[in-house]
Structure 1
Amino acid sequence: MSNHNEQPLSPLEIELSDAQSKQQQDLARAQSLQPKHRPLVEHIYTADPSAHVFNGKIYIYPSHDIQTDAEINDNGEQFAMRDYHVLSLDRDTFEATDHGVALSVEDVPWAQMQMWAPDATRKNGRYYFYFPARAYDGIFRIGVAVSDSPTGPFTAQDNYIEGTYSIDPAVFADDDGSYYLYWGGIWGGQLQNWRDGQFHPRDIYPADDQPAYAPLVAKLSDDMLSLAESPKDILIYDENGKLLRAGDNQRRFFEASWLHKHNQQYYFSYSTGDTHKIVYATGKSPYGPFTYQGVILNPVLGWTNHHSIVQYNNKWFLFYHDSTLSGGQTHLRCVKMSELIHDSEGKILPLQAYE
């Protein structure tokens, strides 16, 4: 028997109900997703995956971990990588192909060792590969190498990019044809050694109640080989409009910058380092400022956490690494991937890493 006293839903109530249903669907889908259990490649150790879509195919630019006798310490001496491989994924099966060595430290005149997390981009049919390395003076710098192929081999410029220092370059191509380079990292990444444009051997960190060290960004020049401007700090604020503090190691920047754009909003994501999470903040400009939003990926097996985010065939994917292939050795890692969900409000639904 129907209840004649029931009132039909208003358009606003219908809209709210539909929105709640969409959010529930997004959450259920995210909870059903798991990062792939097996590494994308198992014949070498890989880490720090930077993924891009070129010519309708996903290419991954990771670092290449190696066995080493170097001391395991906070300066990262155990991360003794000496070359880079490029991976690509089959369009249908997502099986990975290793295209071999694309660049080696022996091919870079200014670099001595520690070829850490790189990135790549394409412009006018050429491919530009950005990489950090420790120069002969012990200071991390960022270099660039060029190729006519997304898989290399890449030819390095004779010197590092003037005005760069520290680690973890990430390049973002905006819709208007501008390219931006992001970089920076504390501890082994040496941001704490730079003051007034000069490198100082002694580490100095802000007090816990002071703003944390900021990552850096600069627009690239037209030839993609230099900076078009002086680097700028990327400001990351909390929900109350205050800069994230150095003592807030659950949210403050540590390393592993990445930028992607979704529905005209810029997403700046990064690693929290000693709390082992990938988190993100959003803003209206590639320069920021950004407002902290939440966690993307919870801690994985191993100390480090480093990622990239790319859209492919109308889906978003997170690439990351852990240490499962080596049984937990933090400097011997493996690259994995998972689908990533932006909900109906643009929030990224966090993933729990599965071993």
Structure 2
Amino acid sequence: MLPPEFLFSRAFSEDPYAAYDEMRASGPVHPIDFPPGTTAFLVVDHEHGRAALNDPRLSKDSAHSSVPVNAELFFGGTMLAMDPPDHTRLRGLVAKAFTGRRVERLRPRVQEITDRLLDGVAARGEADLIEEFAVPLPIQVICELLGVPASDRPRFREWTAVLTVPALTAQARERRREAARAFNGYLVEVIAERRAHPEDDLISGLITARDGDAALTEAELLGGIALLLIAGHETTVNLIGNGVFALLRAPDQLRLLRERPELLPSAIEELLRYDGPVERASQRIALEDMEIAGTPIPKGAWVHVSLGAANRDPAVFEDPARLDVTRAPKRHVAFGHGLHFCLGAPLARLEGQIAIGSLLRRFPDLALALLATEYRHHRTGSIVRGLVSLPVRV
């Protein structure tokens, strides 16, 4: 059985794909002690992983766990921890406010923010692209979309940094509870303000969204807004960071993308497949005794699907460890699959295309400032995967 320390090790954080290749060679499903004390399994191939992502026998609600867990630690109160019909109703209401048209209207503003940030990078000649570009861009975009004032945005980075990692110690759990209390308290005030004075923003849209007589409850509003804020920027930070890092380590692909900018949409999909921002899908729990690839999964057991492993499965993607910006990998699962497919995928794609495309056009001599082996990924055991920093020369 894989110990929980497996997910926190330096070797795994720097190259989880080697570990997944080794596991996949001996089978698609492996027992793992995570969360500690539960019966849990890790799925590391594309066929069974993709199927598990949309299997109605696997619940998103941690209340079904055979071992009691704190639901707040596993996205309790948000769509990520709901099953139909609650999930269907809630997703439908959020989708009415978070429309493709609203996202597309952001394109000029995303480009404007991108250009301003790159002006700052150009003035210095070198930068940490995580802190100076990949972090501020999506934070500003999602906060403007929701209507969060600029003065409040620095706090969101602090809160999400705590709320997106597992809390396995008493100290970490208390720190997470404090962040959740502060986050929820802030959102309660914002919602009250928007109820009294609606604006043309997503929070106002969520408050007024209706499906017949149905509307979001106060708790659902809190959970929905919190999820959009966290998922709306934390994952995009890592899409940009991981994507740029991958291109700078594959100069032939970087050159090809510069020569053929029309490849950018397919290149973003390939970067999502190659080293995506979400390494594992959020939890699923068996509602009944079942099997995955012949492995018995008892009722109440946790099932973790590795999106990163599925996207490197050689049974689906030829030469999966090679970055190929012409690949257009339509079957990748970087945004999940099925009922819980990422609602923010259009926004992430828009930001990724503008950010990476603009960076490559602006800086033809963009290069890593350190040896590739000197860069480090976060070792938090989180479902997200990203670099601690990305120093570059421009």
Higher relative contact order (CA 8 A, sep 6+): 2
Greater helix content: 2
Q: Do the two structures share a fold, i.e. TM-score over 0.5?
A: no
| TM-score of the two chains, using structure 1 as the length reference | 0.29
User: What TM-score comes out, normalization by structure 2 length?
Assistant: 0.27
